[in-house]
Copies of this chain bind each other. A is one copy, B any other.
Amino acid sequence: MKLSTRGEYGLRAMFDLAQHYGEGPIPIKSVAERQDISEHYLEQLIAVLRKAGLVKSIRGAQGGYVLSREPEEITVGDIIRVLEGPIAPVECLNTAEGESCERAETCVTRGIWEKVRDSISDVLDSFTLADMVAKANQMRQDSKYYMYYI
């Protein structure tokens, strides 16, 4: 029961772009370095995000990527669904209702997978990039105070 690193890396990259939102285009190289991800691999992931309309690219020197919407308007679910495909714990959830899944009558399991899927979706859709940035800032603040105590 695992995501591939695609979703993980992609989310970290998008979070990085959100942290630098408003600073103009951010080159992929700097994102890859900060997030410790293979630059070339990340390039492929961000291409998918671009085709899905979540980021815009600016080519040429001083180019890079920017979020195409406000961080408040991009949820974690948006990103994960693009990179990992539809959230479907088992294959039969990707087929239209009642179709192709024989033994549908006995297929009580399907109902369970639907509930799993929905609960994952709910969690993923409940966080925006802006939430993540806020949380990171708060953590930085906390650790600053922590330093004082030592």
Contact = CB atoms under 8 A, between A and B. Distances in A.
B135 A15 contact: no
A12 B139 contact: no
Output the residue of A86, A87, A124 with the most chain B CB within 10 A.
A124
A122 interface: yes
A80 B1 contact: yes
**Which of A80, A85, A112, A143 has the most chain B CB atoms inside 10 A of its CB?**
A112
Interface residues of A, number: 43
Interface stretch (A2-10, A39-47, A51-59, A61-69): A2-10
Contacts of A15: 108-109
Contact of A136 (B91, B106, B119): B106
Nearest to A87: B1
Contacts of A48: none
B108 A139 contact: yes
Contact of A112 (B76, B108, B109): B76
How many copies of this chain sit in the oligomeric assembly?
2
A88 B5 CA distance: 12
Contacts of A103: 35-36
Interface of A: 1-3, 5, 7-8, 11-12, 15, 35-36, 76, 80, 84-91, 102-103, 105-106, 108-109, 111-112, 115-116, 119-120, 122-124, 127, 132, 135-136, 139-140, 143
14 contacts: A1-B7, A1-B87, A2-B89, A3-B89, A11-B109, A11-B112, A35-B103, A36-B102, A105-B139, A112-B127, A115-B123, A116-B123, A119-B119, A120-B120
